[in-house]
Structure 1
Amino acid sequence: MTPMLRAVGLAVGLTLSRCSEDVSTGDDADYWDDDSYGFSVAEGFCAFQCDPAYLGDGECDDMCNVEACDWDGTDCFHGYGECYSHPDGSDYRGALNHTESGYPCQKWSAQWPQRHTRIHTNFPHAGLGGHSSCRNPDNEARPWCYTTAPETRWEYCEIPPLQPSCHHNPSHSREAPSAARPLDEAGSGDTERNPYNLSFYGFDYYSSYDIFPSVVFERDIVKALPLNKLIHGQLDEHTYVFYEVEIPRSVELIKAVVVPGEGDPDLYVSFDNPFPTGANYTFLSDNYGVEEVTLGRYNYLFCGAAGVEASCTLHLSILAYDEYTTFSLVVYGVEDPTAEDAPSLQCAPGCEWPSIGDGTCNQQCNVEACFSDRGDCECDQDVTPDCIDGCPISCKPEWIGDHYCDEACFRASCQWDKHDCLKRGETPCGDDCLPSSVGDGECDAACNVESCGFDANDCFHNHDECYERPDGADYRGKVATTEGGYPCQRWSDQSPQPHTRTAQHYPYSGLGGHNFCRNPDREERPWCYVADKDAGVRWEHCAVGEPSESACVQPPPPAPPPAVEGAAAAVEVVGAFVLGLCAILLLLYCRRLKHKRALRTGKFTQYGGTDDSILGSGLEIKPAVPDSA
């Protein structure tokens, strides 16, 4: 049988199998709706995962940018027109969604095939979000977009000519957001939101068409924070608050710690930028749980442009990423970390900050100074039936099985989020490794384990040691120790060596959630950061052998199917047509039977009524480290 006939025959077989499965038993637990693939539209929602609160909130939400939700109101600029008046097109809010070479644009809210940080949270005034129209968020020459072609990261767009002025539909204006909640011990005075006080951002707020976006800043732009003092604060969703900490020359080591109360605070750190955000920062901690950044004067980035021998100012910001957030913040400063009487950087002896609230009860953390282990020792199902022993507090019990994929809940101890992140036929392979992360083009540390196939080919486990360039920039082998014998630190880790050599900064350098030697930044040869914090050295070169004098051979592509000519080709076409027609008729018959069954049972839910094993697969993606476009 020819390949075409085999393929069509397989389709017919799958149709028969699916038909039999759908109508044979009449059991609701086996019911599956072909149209929805398990995606449940909750009552009151216009589309899957489009909460009514998202409509018209000032941000274009991908899940709401559909006709059933009226294209998210005015948030996605439908019908806005092609007119713009700024020479660089930064005010362009039109609908052109392909590049000048014809490549389709990737949605700004998407992270595949191009991972990036040009998202609404980081560039709130640029007209980004859950659409694929061309924009200019970052002072390029003219509007552009990331492409859906993996080999072409971005290109400019050929938008219409510049106009002297534009008159847009007034319905696209925004109303000012409500005032923010006051901060407790995080600064005195009026903390009302003031969306106009944004002169540091480098634009005329009134001239922007994207007025009153959902990302805002506290009115008291910068709050002074003393070393070694714990403060508490609270923020509304998509709100930044900024702090500055004076670092005297006598301080050799600092550690910033953010402990969540409610919500998910993210921590941005910089020495040179007084307003670090997702668009401009040096270090970022955006875990689910406690955020922690540690820096010593041995790190060349300490004190930034002032130099490692100077006193300086540390700039911090906290972002309430996607919900109302409370937090506690402390910045430790240590003058001599090696001294016997050096202050502890732990909340209590034997309790590391990241371990509190991780789902495991640590009695050394179950003290007031460590926030009582954030409830890890309080799970008594006789008293609190909803609590799940071993599940981190960052995964709320009500999130599990709510038909929304919550990354914080995708682990065995949280019942894999009750399959909210799985499509039919998918099974979890490891904690925090979402099925959509496997083989997505980036090596994810959580997926870089044997049970997940070492993240498909993303982590280079099947690559040989061959490379061609003299500096080894193309080395993708598996040497993971330095010339001095020290084990390498994973490139995705920020401890013990904080750094900026990340996959987001260097997307084509083979970095990610592995510890193999690489050369992302034009060093003499491949190198890595040292994983031993007591080694006395931050990084070293690696011994990866000599470059190959001949071309490195990659696995050949699969051979094309043999050509079919003459009468044989005609027979194949006719046979494929007949089999395809049979498949269509069978599918229509199956759907008719399913409709009759729905009439009998009265169940028309899109995900199949009571089947908890087939739910949605939406994802939340946090901002990543900035990279050049």
Structure 2
Amino acid sequence: MVLTRMAVPNLFLLILRLVASKDFIFHHAAHSGWRYENVSFETTAPTLGICGIKCVTQTPPCYAFNYRESDGSCQVVLNGESGLVEADGYISFAQWLCLTEHPTIPNTKVSFEGWRGEYPAPKGAMVTLLCDDPKGFSDGSPHHTSRCSSVTPHAWESSFQVDAVECKENPNTVYFLGLRATCLYWKFTGEKQYIYPECRLTEKGREYIGTERQTESGKTCLRWDTQPYGKPDDFLATVEYDDHFLNRDAWSQQNYCRNPSWKARPWCFVDDTQVQWEFCNISMCTVRDPPEFKMTQEGGEYIGRKNVTISGLPCQPWNTSKPYPASDEVASHLPGFPDAEDIDEDHNFCRNPNGDAAPWCYSEKLDDPGTEFCDIPFKEAQIEEGAEGNTFGKGKGIHWDKVDDPGTEFCDIPFKEVQIEEGAEGNVYPECRLSEKGKEFIGTKSETETGKPCLVWSEQKERTPWDFSWSGKEYYHLNFLGGDPATHENFCRNPGIYRERPWCFVSDADIKWEYCDIPICHDPKPLECKLTEKGGEYVGKKNVTLSGFPCWPWLSGAVFSFDFRDKLSAFSDEVDGNHNYCRNPEPGRRNHGPYCYFFSGSTMTWEYCDVPFCPGRDGEQCNIRVYGKCISPAECKTTQSSEDYTGTKQTTKSGLPCQPWLRNSPNDLVPLHSLKKWKFPDELHPSHNFCRNPDADAGGPWCYNGAGTDPRWEHCDVPSC
């Protein structure tokens, strides 16, 4: 075992107590004569202890600090990743984490166990390196590992010596769509090269989700959800019709060629009672290595080789029953596995047979129920921007020029970023959509693309669609941004999961609903602000809380251990394993804006994010809003309790600063927000720290002490009108 760490003559253990907290933060002397280079700020401290206090009193506490006794230099590191540089006189101190990048070997595939590859790496975090070369590494090993040491502070323990072990790059390896694939010296004949999803990866093509809708004889396919000839004989008798389709949904498959049974290849129903169905001509993919991305929210089509959860825990094989009943899932949802025929005792790849929110698996290292989602990104997340002029060929694949005999050549496949195209000038959000699906659209369009008037959403509870996460009229409201369909009136929206763009209900009983013609915004870049108090429409990239804690991925089992699919309708965008952006998918529980979950020590909790209201058309920021309208503050109270006070007083009667109502520090307000008993006369936003009386206290407006000292809260001196 090789220890990657600088020699330290003596180990010094520093224990510091956080102000106003019972937690202890341990920092260990990690490197003598070296310092962390990613310094957040530098100050001076007369002693090592004072420097340590400056470190741990940050919010959140710093990961590391450097101290030099000769001049009192105190450098605080708040970033999770940092390299080391030689620095005479310095000693670096760190929590028992690994801030430096793990040792690696070029040309290897990297997987993570016990963490997601984001720094700092926790104690015990494992990195596994695999070599594509058939002979393995130069020392004969099939794989190598590095682990953030549990014995020595801030040290990587590796099974190899850096620069002493090599992995030769497979000469047939190319990169396409962000994936490693092996090029088999294709013989170029001028024919198209077929790229998934518009081709089959397997002979039967049960994973095929392309857009071909004609049979090999030229007949047009019928919609699957109409069941034109009932349930076919080769469908399983014990499984419902819809459950034979990927994601357990026939409607979203429209009339595309599919293979929901186990026929030889994709097929579809046709309008011919004599033949009823025909095969489709779906080509085999040129590169048949399964892609490591998903095309749909649920990812039922995924047949990749990911076999660890989003937390890095190993998956339990599907065909086993201990410690969790994975084999029962196979028995009850067999058609939900696109590679069902390949399931054996070793098959432990992430799949989504039951139509959950994303691919998942069982893991023996998880507590009951033993399941967690996997980190399977969307296809777009795999693609990087290439050089100007790199474009896809037209049609279903790339048309390659012929080459001279022997007709073989290495593959040169560039990257191309897939992104939404800009709309016409003048299309400005919110009266346009920022994405293809437009789930974030909250404009005022109220007629369909054929001119039919939209019906009022709040009056359609009896018509809850099949693709709403929450079924039943009592939960109907939870499928909408903000959790209140009345606020959406009869405007075009896209609640639910499967619709392609904004739509609405119509009075025509034959069609029931129809899409709306909502243009793409000229600038599709998401706004970093909210338009409504709950901020359900927010699709920005903020991923830290108000107190600076990094957000945890929404699909992590630590966030929602079950029933995450119920949250999908109210999400303003689609979710994959990388999605850790501030959102508000629980509008019935979080009333004041986007938020996220994070770990505080070993406890998972949540906090609102710094997503302010968008400025008005005049560019001014509104501090006091009531029912979406900016009002002038009333700087006096009309009654003793004055629950309707909307002034801007932000200090207590003894002069203490008020803590913002949405911030969890220095006073933890999460339990109080969760109780939902507070009533504010105006809408809250991240900087709102004005005196209020949300609990109808007889003493009048008050606030929490933002200084973090006693008293915890105090009344404010608001004059009477």
TM range (shorter): under 0.3
Q: Select the structure with the greater relative contact order (CA < 8 A; seq sep ≥ 6).
A: 1
Structure ranking higher in helix proportion: 1
Q: TM-score w.r.t. structure 1 length? A: 0.26
Q: Which has the higher strand share?
A: 2
Instruction: Find the structure with the greater CA-based Rg.
Output: 2
